[in-house]
Amino acid sequence: MKQSNRIKAAMRAGRKAYGYNLSFPSPWVIDILGKLDFDFVFIDGEHGPFGLDQLEDLCRTAERHNVTTIARVPDIGSSTILRYLDRGIMGILGPHIATEADARQLVRACYFGPLGERSFGANRGTDYNAGIADKAAYCREANEQMLVCALLEDVAVLDNLDAILSVPGVDLYSIGPNDFAQSLGYPGQPGHPEVVKTMQEITRRIRQAGRTMQADVMHGAWVSDMLLDAGRRILSSQPG
């Protein structure tokens, strides 16, 4: 493996991992922020306009600065996730994990055997299958460095949460407040008291089961918000 997963290293060290969320393909942002000691960059591949070539450029740039790349994928299909992993992504956030079957599919797609069924191809995510003396050891190390997160966004989670949490191989859980609010019947109202109460109950159940929320170990900000905040500071400093 080219590098270790800094988020998993932070989890082992008992500290939070710090990073930023990117919704548009810009290796230049990663290059500039590489001057700071961020642990990860989160790539929103579900909503952002990321092509496969762009993902590779982002991974190359991040690796140069020892920054771990993780991505929210458009769906949890094995071929979709594989395309991200083959570019060099080291962590996957699977959207709309609403059943045990969804969680098992997410794990199946992210890991090599015996945990999963990830295909091994000669791409940069597997070092182009070049110079690997012990492929079995390589696959074990890849599994150890893989971060798998389940994004809970559907009302069905309320009935299926215990079964979802029983699936081995998921490291972290997160709740998508906007889609979850819509699923509960409150579109555009993630702050509705009923939505907030339900999300808090899900979070409590996850932690009570001994599992970890993404927010427990990761802290990040959207690059778009960072840019807007910087712009506002400049504008507010103008003389009256």
**Residue written as token pair 């060290």:** 13
Q: Is 199 helix (H, G, I), strand (E, B) or coil?
A: helix
Buried/exposed 35-61: b ≥16 CB within 10 Å, e otherwise: eeebbbbbbbbbebebeeebbbbbbeb
Out of 47, 65, 96, 192, which one is annotated catalytic?
Answer: 47
96 assigned to active site: no
> Could you give the CA distance from residue 222 to residue 204 in angstroms, rounded to a whole number?
26
Q: Which of 46, 75, 72, 41 is nearest to 58 (CA)?
A: 41
Query: Helix %, strand %, coil % for the chain, to 5?
Result: 50, 15, 40
Distance from C-alpha of 32 to C-alpha of 43, rounded to nearest angstrom? 16
Q: What is the DSSP string of 123-141?
A: SGGGGGG-S-S-HHHHHHH
Give the residue numbers marked as catalytic.
47
